[in-house]
Structure 1
Amino acid sequence: MKTKTARMQEVTEMQWKETPMKTEMNNRKTATKLLLVQWSRFQNVEMCLEGSTLFTGVNTSGKSTVLDAMTYLLTGNTQFNKAAKDKDRTVVAYVRGDTKSNGPDRYLRSGEVISYVAMEFWSPVEDSSLVVGVCIESPDETSYKSSWFVCRDTTLSDMNFARVDGGLLRVTPRSELHTAEKRLKSADFLSRDRGVEQVLRALGLRCDPIRYRNKLLKMMAFNPENNIDQFIQECVLEPSNVDSLKDLREQKAQFERIRQMYQMMRESRDQLEKVEKRSVDYENRLRRLRIRQMMFCYQQLQEKEAHKKELEQKLEILRHQEEQLRLRQGEMDERYEHASSRLRIAESNDMFRGMQDSIRAMKGQCAELEREADRYEKEEKKIQNLQHRLETLLSWTQLEDGEGLSKEVKNTLLHLAEEGMTSERKTEHFLTFSSYVQRLDRKFQSLEVHSEDKKNLLSEERESIEQDIKKLRANRMVFPREVEKARTVIQKELENQGIHTQVRVFAEMVQEVKTPEWRASIETFLGKKRFDLIVDGEYCEKAMEILKSRKLKNCKVVITDKLPETPVTEGSASEILNVPNGFARRYANYLLNGIHLCESLGELHEYPKGGLTKDGMLAKSYAVSAMDLEKTFLCLGEDAVQIQLAQAEADRQKNQEEYRKLEEETERTQIHRQEIASIDWNLEHYDFDAQKRLKKVKREQADLERQIEQIQNSSEFMAVIQEQESARKAYETCQRERDEVVGDIRTCSDAQSQNQRSQKMISGDLYKLNREYQDLSSRNMELEKPMMEEYEKLKKQKGSFQVITFGALRDAEKNVNDSIRELENAQIEYCRLSEKDLSRRGTAYISYYREEYRNLANVKIEEAHHKLEEQAGRLESAFMNDFVAEINEAVREAKSEIALINRELRQLPFGNDTYRFVMEEKPDRAVFFRICRRLENYMDSPEAYMSSGRDDEEMERDIQEFMSVILDEEDESEYTDYRKYFTYDMKIISRQGDKEIVADLSKKQGSASNGEKQTPYFIILAASLNQCYPQNVCCARLVFIDEAFSALSRERIEQMVKYFEENHFQVFYAAPPEKISSIGAFIESTVSLVITGRYTNAVEGLVRG
């Protein structure tokens, strides 16, 4: 039905005078009909669409419902009635006919409902019609299923969507739907995404369905803004779904977790270092206490020894006194004999005086013979004693000397005190044996000196081994002392310079030897390089300066900052070493990557430049050698402590065995030398004819005694009585004095006995003290030498044996107890920090904490640091490769979008005005754009930059700054929405005569009328939407405008309609009836929606002819 008025006819003719319908129709697929079956209040309504169409009617008549149906069909849109922001409208609500009323009649339809929305299009190029539609099946009030279909060369009248049978509407099920020629198959019905894509393709559109839907909705739900910046952001540019920020935050959270773990490990390591300091302090104090205890015991031992020597000296004096007294006694005995003799003479008769003189002379001669006999008897005994001692010597001299003696010499020496041999023979053979023995003694003396030297060396070695064992039992790795000293010096010097870093030995940084059977050969090959010192690369030069200034000659510092970072060579010795630390790993690769592990000599022959076998065969620089694996002190890997401890204990056992053998040998040598020294080898002191001469003297003495006896048997006279009396008095005096001397001797003898008893008691005390001291020294062998040195020093200072008091010993014990408490407090603090069992405290756990420290400092913290660096890399990679890349890509697309719109705007002037978008970077996003500009040097690829050397410090600072800003921002959209990186405006270029006036839309917002304000927005949206409609392709060019032109004047409406029509858009307007005169007069047709009861019908109104 067509209705025409004179006014409308006039306006229509004016508007379309220069734009024939034929021109626009040749480049547009036009929607000609719309069918709504059971959609909201529409039961079965077909509407004719003649070009652009206005849908009008009172409120709730279904104007927006019609637009919603078409946008649902064409784009799958479910944001219904967006202009009114009505969020309650859903597909199910439309299908069911939800009236939003209360009660059982809320829904127009119940049970299973089938609805259709279909549109018919005419293609002038193909000269045919096509139908696109969607079938919605709703089994209940909460669910539905939609199926899209496309039927070419078909009209709506050719299809059986529904029919009225007996006054009832019968809707065709999807399975029975057909065209005039065929029934639709199940494969013809598509899901939403595929269906919408096929619908758009059928309409000649190749744009992204989602972007197309968004552009349609923005135009349909147009809401003019006073803020052009916000309008462009929300209505022109597509929002970018940057999901990478979530992943970035997860990476950041993971980074923070690892960083916190790493920080906790650092704090734990620092606390373990405090524990170690307390442990070392405890061990030092305990060492001082042990030295004090040994010193106190040794001091008591020395005091007892001194007392013993004092008693021995006193005993010697007593013995000398006794000897003098006995000499005196001898004199007194002689005087007593003379007194007795006198008394006897006095008592003799004078007649016998002459005879007595003869007897006296003979007796004197006899006494002389007696003395000679005594001397010869002593000589004989001396010879017998010599023979006995020589027999002892002869029993071992043959064993000690390979040359030996002749049988004749030995036979003479064994019968030296016997008759039957001449003195000349005895003398000759004695001198022969004397020379032989003196030569043996010199040999023994030389052996004794050498043994003593060896014992001193073994003692020093044993002290060193004991120190190593104590360290190892305390779970501390043992390295050469010069290396330990150098490490300590460098560590302290670095700390004095305010540098807090670890100075570590390369060996302790090797966590594991993966294949233990290769350990000995690899460690032997590495040799002293295992003890090279490693510091972080940034402090390497400082360590080198300390090495030079402190003249540390016996160690090496690895130049870590120059070590190349190389991969582990497969099959090399480096491959079986697990080295977590980065610098140590580089050093291991440098040393061992060129050494191939060979299973046989044949394989070794294939690697002449560098090869190694398990048994120590080494090929290097085209030469092969056999290494001595037995002498290698193993120190690589976590189990090196136990290996070193076992080796040290074996070395100690070997040392003790060698020392015992040397002591036995020295003792035997000393016994032999004592036996040699016990013999007087001076020939002048021996008379080998003494036995013969003794017999002669005895015979002469017996003859004289017989002669005296003959004289004495003659008669005698009594002596003078007076002489007899005097002689008696003298006799009695001598007897008294002699008795006094005997008494003194007895007293001296008693004193000696008392002294000997005291000595015996002191010997018992000395034995106990010796046992106590030996026990202490055996448990602290390494402390004996420093204790002795300190004792001698203090003894020299104080001039006394007493250098330490019992109070000082108690103070040392108190210091040890104090250090134990401090140690336990440090251990408890570590347990609290690391959430470990608080019962693990005390000196018994020192080795446990050292193991903790070694694992933490050399392994775990390195692994955590490595993980932290890796996570930092992943975080930066996620930030650059995902977030920055996505935003940068979105920005580039936005710029491209704006450029395309600007090109469209140049081609679509609005009267004398043309429009152009302006995008300017926000100042607070400058860091992002700096990053992007630098990325241009890397082909706009963050991945290419991340793979480069990354030596642009300013770029790195910008990355860190921007990442921190983003991750600290609470409102994610501030940085995930690329649209917020720019400020937006529109340039209005007005041609006024020959002049071109340029103005910013944002500056006209306050002064322009509503029409002037809205018009640019419509033009912007149209230009944006027009990108989806290629100019050289015949396609649908649809526009939907809900609540159209609410603030535009009639003149502006005329201009806007003309603008849309000139650009071949087919526009569907929804507006209230009062807009018919201002909108409907300028478009092709009007459809009025009329409510009849609970349903809505369509009445076709004005159609431009």
Structure 2
Amino acid sequence: MKILKKIKLINWHIFSNETIELSGNTLITGENGSGKSTILDAMQYILTAGSTKFNMAANESSTRTLVSYVRGKLGVEGKEFIRSGDVVSHIALEFYNEESDVIQVLGVVLEVGAQSMAKPHFYKVDQPFEDAWFLEDRKVRNYAEFKQTLKGLQIELDTPTTATQRRTLFMNTMGLDLKYRELIPRALAFRPVNDIQDFIYRYLLNEQNIDIDALRDSIREYRRLEKQLEHEQRYFQKLEIIDAKYTQLKKQEYEVSVNESAIQLLRLNLYKNTIEVNEKQIYGDQQRLKQLAKSKEQANERLGIYQEALADMRKNPTLERLEKLKLALAHAKKEYESNEAILKHVETEYHRLIKTLKSVDFKETIHDGNDVQAIQNQLASIKKAVDQKLKTTYLQKIKYEEEIEATHRTRLELEHDIERLKRQQQVYPENVKKLIVVLKERLSEFYHESVEVRPLFEYLEIKDESWRNAIEGYLNTQRFNIIVEPRYFDMAVKIYDQIKHDMNIYGVRVVDVLKTHGKKALEGSLAQHLTVMDEYVLGYMNYLLGSVICVDSVSNLKEHPISITQEAMVYKGYAVFAIRPEIYKRPYIGQAAIQIQLTQRQEEHKALMQTLIEKRQHKDALEVVENTLESINILNLEVSISGLKDRKTLFETYKLNEDAVNQIQSNPNLTLQLQKAQELEVNIKTLQQEISRSDQAIGGLNRNIAATTEKNEDVKATYEILYDAYERTKDDNPSLLFDAEATMKSSLDASSHNHQRAMDTLQTQNKALSANFVDQKLSLQQDMSEYNHMSNSGYGVGLECIDQYLTRYYKLRDVDLIASRNSCRQAREKSEQQFHDSFIHQLSQNIKQARRNIDLLNRQLRKHTFRDEQYRFDISASKSPHFAQYYKIITSDKEAFPSNLFMQMLSQQESEVMKELFRRITAFDDDGKNEQELRRYTDYRNYMSYDIITTKENGDITRLSTVIKEKSGGETQTPFYVTIAASFEQLISKISMVDSGCVVLFDEAFNNMDSQRIRAMLEFYNNLNIQIVIAVPPDRIASISEHVDTVLAVGRSGNSGFTQRIQYGKNDTQ
């Protein structure tokens, strides 16, 4: 064993030149300020190969430095240092190997210039030191002189040049490992404590905070990307609002256009109706004019007859009787002619009925005759046939109305799809949409963060359009597979399982992309014609298409297990098949697919509108037939027929009167001429009045006809203008016209078919819509302005600039956000990997090493019994709930798994615990504000709790943590002193005692212990393979001196210190 035998101090604080000899365990005593700690600090400086933590036992906040020791800092006013100028100091420790009889010196030469820090020069010499090494006469040699002196004495000097070499040289000389230089300052600074954890932290377990710089770097990058993503998401949310408001604005604008068109249609119909009414009025007036003219002509004829008759009668009065007979004859004739007119009306109306029926393609056989009885018989069958035709027409009209409604719904869906495509939004199966919405809502709610859920095709872009059909066709419905990040997959599956029945969602696939992560594609495969915007999706696409080889011709298909041509011919499973064109006809992958779909749907919409117009025309034609059939009034015709009298009877009456007149006319006796003349005068006057009224009526009718005709010409001119506009709209925007017609009909129904009231209602609606449009436009422009402010975009804020916002919105939605989320996720995964590798793994290793160290210490402690007690350290999980749950996982076998599997091996509860720890670690700022809190989590010692278990010889067990609460004397401190000594002995237990020397320094030791316990403690130390040096005040000498080999007294005279050996070897007092 190596023993420290001598100490040389030159210019070390108050010691100018002191040689101290000692043997075995040593006690250094002296009053406060005499220099006890100064000697111990010099020894510590050499034993640790350069530690500068001085005087820590006496004062934990000590400011002593090498310079203050070398210059001899006094702190006296007027004289700060003992030495000034250039100063050289020497410290040397001489060790003696009892077994090999070899002496070695470890020392240092310290040089301090007038304005410089201390410059140390460490060395080792394998022979005893002499004063001549350090002094020439009374002058202290500097390092160069020191080296030259030893060289002249042919003494080999071993001088390390680096701190690492120095530590290695000194520890090898002592026969100890580097752990020793850590324990020396701890023992020297040791003070009895009443807290086990504090003792563990100070004296047994190194702090060893984990280096998390790499983790911080990855977290910093993750935060940067996360912040960027947050900005983009805020931009996206604002742009989404802008897009929605603009869509609503366009919708309102369209509603206004529809209402305006409906008003124009109402106006057109109103003008058309006005023209029809005017024409009917003109026609009616013209007919009444004809009737009046005819009546006037007849009245004039009768007036002429009466006037002529009166003139004749006045010539021949006997004609009076003849005139009466003539009147009877005229009445009979009138009645006969009236009956004939009714008959003619029946025949005319019947022929008109036949013509009307023929105009609506009436299929029943109709007899076109004039026989009244035949007509009467025909009317019954016609009435039955009309009723049947009316029913059939009504059913056909209803069928067309249903078809129009279904086609209209399809048209609305198409227009909705077209609008989405114009806004760069893909259109895909409804079940997929519903599941995406539910998953996004539920996952975001569960994880308290925005979770991205998208269909597969949104992550893809086709590089070569010539392979589009092959890719689209081969993927088929897999294009709509739903992608979620791996960490959300399990919860997504649970949600899908919960809602599938209620929402009737089946057949939609959610992809476990983790299983295909990292898969590679074969050279020349279909996968290589795709650009994929997510690394997990890339692995999945390589899984789906990476083995499908692209070939130029069908003749090359069988050269590969799975292959495909551009024309979508596939070889798979030793069979060839062609993919159905309807599968890839509607593309979904990439931005180009949107334009292709938009063109397809616009063409479909155009064809659909043509079909819709044709169906409307058929329906309108059926309405014409229906209205025509409903306008037929067979009952009036039947009533007219029932009013007919017997033609024969009427004719006979007429002939009788005619014969009587002829008879009288043949009678020369005209006695009644006078009476007849009077009647003629009355009739003449009546006729004259009738003719005058007719003249007045004819004049009024002529004026009415002229005015109505003029007014109708103006209406017709306006109607022509409106109709031309209607025709242009019909050609340019059939959808708008279709909706306008529907709005017109509904408004007419609501206003009891009052056109003006319907127009007023629509105009009122348009005023409200226009006012709301202005408000919405202002709101939209405000959002546009806010977006500009938050993003510094510099876009315009007028509606004419909306495309700038929508273009940015589509790019964010379809490209940038996907890329940013992918980058952010990769950064997060890298941080999680660093979290495992740099934090969890290192923390686990530190904890395991600590447990191993404590186990080794416990083994050492088992070898020693202090009085009747044995001590052992107990380590368990921290009493802090947070640290305890972390400790349980960190020290489990799961930690041994690779970082990419670690989180997967944890239960859901354990995973949440680790995520919480990750959040805590990543939440600390880089500005140092939370550095102390961060150190708590990076210090492995905080994850454990500690106790010392004392076992008596009788088997009684006590825990020190319990005893400390009840007692505070020396009995609670004994385990700590035992442990310190055992820690040193543990160092040398694994190496050869012949070549090792373990010196332990205690300053101000055993202060709280009584003499009995001190004696017992020193007896315990004397049985250990260590050499202790204890510094105590004089009042402790009696209880310690008899148990040590050497006792040194330290004194001070002014600014000079000195030592005196008062015992060298046990009981040797000098």
Structure 1's 256 and 1059: CA in aligned 2 closer, same or farther, altered over 3 A? same
Cα gap change, 1:936 to 1:195, in 2 (>3 Å): closer
Q: Which residue number in structure 1 is paired with residue 102 of structure 2? A: 128
Q: 2:516 is paired with a residue of what secondary structure? A: coil
Question: Does the 8 Å CA contact 1:597/1:612 hold for their aligned counterparts?
Answer: yes
Deviation of residue 808 (structure 1)? 2.8
- CA distance in 2 between counterparts of 1:1080 and 1:811 reads 111
CA distance in 2, matches of 1:87, 1:868: 49
In structure 2, distance between residues paired with 1:1076 and 1:884: 51
For 1:238, which of 181, 184, 205 is the aligned residue?
205
Aligned partner of residue 6 in structure 2, secondary structure:
strand
Q: Which of 566, 575, 590 lines up with 1:637 in the alignment?
A: 590
Q: 2:993 aligns with which of 1025, 1029, 1033?
A: 1033
Check if 1:87 corresponds to 2:62: yes
* Stretch deviating more after TM superposition (954-963 or 621-630): 621-630
1:643-698 Cα offsets, whole Å, 9 max, x none, are 65577779999999x99xx9xxxxxxxxxxxxxxxxxxxxxxxxxxxxxxxxxxxx
1:300 maps to what in 2? 267
1:181-260 equivalence runs, <5 A:
182=154, 188-205=159-176, 207=177, 209=178, 211-225=179-193, 227=194, 229-230=196-197, 232-243=199-210
Distance apart, 1:296 and its partner CA: 0.4
Alignment match of 1:509 (pick from 458, 471, 474): 458
Q: Deviations over 1:213-248 (max 9, x none)?
A: 2322222223122x2524532444223222357877
3-state SS of paired residue (1:835): helix
Task: Give, as a single letter, the amino acid of the residue that structure 2 aligns with 1:761.
Answer: D
CA pair 179-856 structure 1, distance change in 2 beyond 3 A: same
Deviation string, structure 1 residues 1003-1040 (Cα, Å, up to 9, x no partner): 65588795545544322211111111227432102111
Aligned residues: 880
Structure 1 residues 585 and 308, CA gap change in structure 2 (3 angstroms): farther
Change over 3 Å in CA distance of 1:631–1:763 after alignment to 2? farther
| 1:77 equivalent among 47, 51, 60 | 51
The answer for the alignment partner of 1:1067 in structure 2 is 1028
Give 1:868 shift: 6.1
SS at match of 2:63: coil
Query: 1:120 touches 1:130 (CA, 8 Å); kept in 2?
Result: yes
1:818 counterpart (768, 772, 788): 772
Aligned partner (choices 449, 471, 489) of residue 522 of structure 1? 471
> How far did 1:259 drift?
6.6
Report what 1:49 is aligned to. Answer: 22
The residue that corresponds to 2:857 in the other structure is 901
Distance 1:298 1:594, change over 3 A: farther
CA contact (8 A) 1:44 1:162 kept: no
Do 2:2 and 2:96's aligned partners in 1 also have CA atoms closer than 8 Å? Answer: yes
Q: Deviations over 1:376-405 (max 9, x none)?
A: xxxxxxxxxxxxxxxxxxxxxxxxxxxxxx
State the shift of 1:195 in Å.
Answer: 0.5
Per mean C-alpha deviation after superposition, the further-off stretch among 635-644 and 254-263 is 254-263
CA deviations on 1:853-885 (whole Å, 9 max, x unpaired) are 555555555556556655665555555544444
Q: Counterparts of 1:18-417 in structure 2 under 5 Å?
A: 28-75=1-48, 76-85=50-59, 87-103=62-78, 105-151=79-125, 153-157=126-130, 161-165=133-137, 167-173=138-144, 176=148, 178=150, 182=154, 188-205=159-176, 207=177, 209=178, 211-225=179-193, 227=194, 229-230=196-197, 232-243=199-210, 277-313=244-280
Amino acid at match of 2:74: T
Match of 1:792 among 737, 741, 745: 745
Aligned to 1:954: 909
Secondary structure of 1:35 counterpart = strand
Q: Deviations over 1:65-122 (max 9, x none)?
A: 221112111212211011112521111222233233344x533444444433222222
Residue 300 (structure 1) shift: 1.0
- Where 1:902 maps in the other structure, the secondary structure is helix
> In 1, Cα distance between the equivalents of 2:438 and 2:28?
89
Using the aligned pairs only, state the percent identity: 21
CA distance in 2, matches of 1:507, 1:330: 93
Counterpart amino acid of 1:73? I
For residues 479-878 of structure 1, the aligned pairs below 5 Å read: 479=427, 483=429, 487=433, 506=455, 509-510=458-459, 512-515=461-464, 518-519=467-468, 521-523=470-472, 525-526=474-475, 530=479, 537-541=493-497, 544-545=500-501, 548=504, 558-560=508-510, 565-567=515-517, 569-570=520-521, 572-574=525-527, 577=530, 592-598=545-551, 606-607=559-560, 609-613=562-566, 619=571, 622-623=575-576, 625=578, 632-638=585-591, 640-641=593-594, 758-774=711-727, 776=729, 780-795=733-748, 798=751, 800=753, 802=755, 804-819=758-773, 821-822=775-776, 824-825=778-779, 828=782, 832=786, 835-836=790-791, 854-856=810-812, 873=829, 877-878=833-834
Matched letter for residue 1026 of structure 2: F
Instruction: Tell me by how many angstroms 1:809 deviates.
Output: 1.9
Tell me the alpha carbon deviations over residues 564-591 of structure 1, each in whole angstroms, 9 at most, x when there is no partner.
8424542544455456589977875675
Give CA deviations for 1:789-848 in whole Å, capped at 9, x if unaligned.
Answer: 343354456553616223532422422432552465367468758924697666556666
Task: Tell me the amino acid that sits aligned with residue 204 of structure 2.
Answer: L
Contact 2:473 2:583 in 1 (8 A): no
* Aligned equivalents of 1:254, 1:817: Cα separation in 2: 49
The CA deviation string for residues 478-507 of structure 1, in whole angstroms up to 9 with x for no partner, is 637xx4699479969999999999998837
Q: Give the whole-Å Cα distance in 2 for the aligned partners of 1:1103 and 1:164.
A: 30
- Aligned CA distance change for structure 1 residues 956 and 490 (closer, same or farther; 3 Å): closer
Aligned partners of 1:1055, 1:951: CA distance in 2, in Å? 52
Q: Structure 1 residues 936 and 305 mapped into 2: Cα distance closer, same or farther (>3 Å)?
A: same
Unaligned regions of 5+ residues in structure 2, if any?
Answer: 303-403, 485-491, 615-689, 925-929
Are 1:617 and 1:626, in contact at CA under 8 Å, matched by a contact in 2?
A: yes
Give SS of 1:1068's match. strand
Instruction: Tell me the equivalent position of 2:948.
Output: 986
Change in 2 beyond 3 A, CA 1:579/1:799? farther
What secondary structure, in the 3-state scheme, does the structure 1 residue paired with 2:23 have?
Answer: coil
Q: Is the CA contact (8 Å cut-off) linking 1:220 and 1:1040 kept in structure 2?
A: yes
Contact 1:97 1:109 in 2 (8 A): yes
Contact kept, 8 Å, 2:436 with 2:453, in 1: the verdict is no
CA–CA distance in structure 1, aligned partners of residues 109 and 555 of structure 2: 81
Q: 1:499 to 1:809 in 2, by over 3 A?
A: farther
Report the AA paired with residue 1025 of structure 1: F
Write the deviation string for residues 435-485 of structure 1: whole angstroms up to 9, x where unpaired: xxxxxxxxxxxxxxxxxxxxx99x9999789947972685243637xx469
RMSD across aligned C-alpha pairs, in angstroms?
Answer: 5.8
CA distance in 2, matches of 1:562, 1:156: 76
Change (3 A) 1:999 1:647: closer
Distance change in 2, residues 1:462/1:169 (3 Å): closer
Alignment TM-score, normalising by the size of structure 2: 0.68
